[in-house]
Amino acid sequence: MKFIVTCFFISSFSLAQELHPIIAFDSLGYPTKIWMDIIYKRYNYNDSTTLNIISSTKDSSWIKNIYQAIPRWKKILPKLQKPFFNVSLSDTIYIVIGNQLADDAFTHGNNTICFDIQQLSEYGKGESEENKERIDRIFSHEYIHLLHKSWRKDKIIITTQWEKILLECVNEGLGNYYSLSQKWKIDTQGKIPEITKNTLKKLEPIFVEKFCFAFHHQNFDDSLFNKLSKGKFEEKWGALPVALWLDRETHSDSQLLRQWIEKGLDGVLYLADKYLEEPYRSKLRECRK
């Protein structure tokens, strides 16, 4: 008699997870205490830190965009959760909408995603179709950070600068993978877009140069992290190559993505060794000997 065994992966997520919005600025655009507490903690400010806070015109189109997006975000939570096994988040994820002093979006703690509408306004009006799609990608990027933070807490322990740079590439590469618009992604036939080819051609030499330096100078200072995952999207020498390689590796398959996540810090060099063009692949291999 032949038995068929089916394995089910049981996740500890609640599909009824709430997304709760909070406005963290007043009628004149000044940040509230909620926002300021988040900013001080994010940037390690102390009581003597002076910040330039001004009355700022609020772009209500971005507030409206975020509120209208929340029902869509609830529907995509199961898809975002799928590559992670046995990871739990809070029943409520807070969506804090602030104004001034931060990046366009970031996570805070284990249950909060923050948006700075002053920074979001740099993309134009929130009601445009392009920005409606953009805010979904930004949310996905940040929600993935919450998931990965929870997943890695007992799995990845960082003790050196070398491990720190690997983690930054894993974490931000994964986030930027979810930030990719369609123009960056391979098509169903595996064709790589020209913008992706040209960007990798510019970034791969920088990636290899930085990684070779990091490998041979294990206790380098944080200046090496400049532009790794911050600044103009197309100039992120660490996060963007990993994101683009990850697109080729997974073809949007959540099981393949899970397999890569499970590699932990080794995932970065796995992708680099597989997808770097020559002579950069050989150069990276040589400097790691």
Query: What is the per-residue burial (b if ≥16 Cβ within 10 Å, else e) of 127-153?
Result: eeeebeebbbebbbbbbbbbbbebbbe
Give the DSSP H or E segment for 244. helix 239-250
Could you report the per-residue pLDDT of 226-240, keeping only the tens digit for each?
888 888 899 999 999
Residues of the chain with pLDDT under 70: 1-16, 48-59
pTM of model > 0.75:
yes
- How far is residue 247's CA from residue 250's CA, in Å, rounded to a whole number? 6
Q: Please name each of the domains of the chain with its CATH number.
A: 18-152 (3.10.170), 161-287 (no CATH)
Long-range contacts of 248-251 (CB under 8 A, 24+ apart): 248/186, 248/192, 248/275, 249/274, 249/275, 251/186
3-class SS at 81? helix
Length of the chain as a residue count:
289
Could you report the per-residue pLDDT of 55-101, keeping only the tens digit for each?
566 668 999 999 999 999 999 999 999 999 778 888 999 999 998 87
